[in-house]
Amino acid sequence: MAPQPPDEIDRRVRESFGVEPAAIRRVVDAARAAPDGRPRRTWALRTAVAAVGVAALALAVAWWPQAQVVPAPAESVVSGSLADGMLVLTWPDGSTSILGGDRGDERPPDGVGIVLVEGGSR
Amino acid sequence: MTGQGSPVIVDLDETLSELAPRVLRYLVARLGDASLAEEIAQESLTALVRCWRNGGAPESAEAFVFAVARRRLGRAVWRRRLWVPLEQAVGFRDGRPSPESRAVARSEEARVRAALARLARPDREAILLVAAGELGMAEAASVLGVSASAVKMRVHRARARLAALLEADNGTTASG
């Protein structure tokens, strides 16, 4: 069978998608009745509001984990005692840590002195 | 018809009457939804009327209207993807059957639509603007933002592929 000429293809496409005369009339009448002023940019407004909302949410999500960490005071005083090679520390929140290795050379010496403790409080 | 060698239209009413069926047909072909197509066609022609009254006729009224229609169509497609499943879930869209009097036309529409669906998207868009929207190559190029020679190539490719697909479909229908 011979291939369809270009015009025939275009015509077939055009005629496949019929439009009702009443619809054409409605569209034309509505366009003619359009007011002269610029339309309200509801789409742009909605987009702007949505963008601000998303930005606020992103900021809140970024800030939240930081807000959960309560910084310890810079000059916290930790009291403790040394007994039998073990250092017993009482933290400001009331919890207790017992430090000291099993082997003798890892243990702090018995007695009284200054012990430097490094780390953060949680 | 302005697209393929017809004279330039300078009267607004005449322009509206001439463009309305073309933009409607193009939108129906793109969307497959007559009421949504009517809504977007109305918005596109309204945009033309406002532009015309405020600053005079655009350089190419048909390129203007089709460009607006394409942009709004894109938004409508996204809106539909978001809302239709919900509307169907709550029963707002009942999917009414077509009247019997339209059955034959619908079957031809379905055949052409199925063939169009198998084209590459740029080719499909080009052939719909030229065939359904009756735009000239220059106007279609302006709407698509590509060169006229690129549009010509796409339309040529789309026509050839569409002809082959419809031919194959006719063969299948006849033998089946």
List pLDDT tens digits, range A83-104. Answer: 766 777 777 777 777 776 665 5
User: For B50, which residue in chain A has the nearest alpha carbon?
Assistant: A36
- pLDDT of B43 strictly over 80: yes
Cβ-Cβ pairs closer than 8 A, A with B, add up to 103
* Residue A6 to residue A8: CA distance in whole angstroms: 5
Cβ B63 vs Cβ A51: under 8 Å? no
- Rounded to an integer, what distance in angstroms lies between the CA atom of residue B38 and that of residue B59? 24
pLDDT at B1: 43
Cβ partners under 8 Å of residue B153, min gap 6: none
Cβ within 8 Å, pair A26-B105: no
Q: Per DSSP, what are the bridge partners of residue A80?
A: A89
Chain B residues in contact with A24 by the CB 8 A cut-off are 17, 20-21, 24
Alpha helices for chain A (secondary structure H):
6-16, 21-32, 42-68
Q: What average pLDDT does this structure show over B78-104?
A: 59
Residue type, A34: A
* pLDDT tens string B118-169: 999 999 999 999 999 999 999 999 999 999 999 999 999 999 999 999 888 7
pTM over 0.80? The answer is no
B98 touches chain A (CB under 8 A): no
- Phi then psi for residue B8, to 5 deg, are -70, 135
The hierarchical CATH code for the domain B99-176 is: 1.10.10.10
In chain B, what are the domain boundaries? 1-96, 99-176
* A42 SS3 class: helix
Measured between CB atoms, does B21 come within 8 Å of chain A? yes
A17: nearest CB among B13, B29, B42: B29
**Res. A53: pLDDT tops 90:** yes
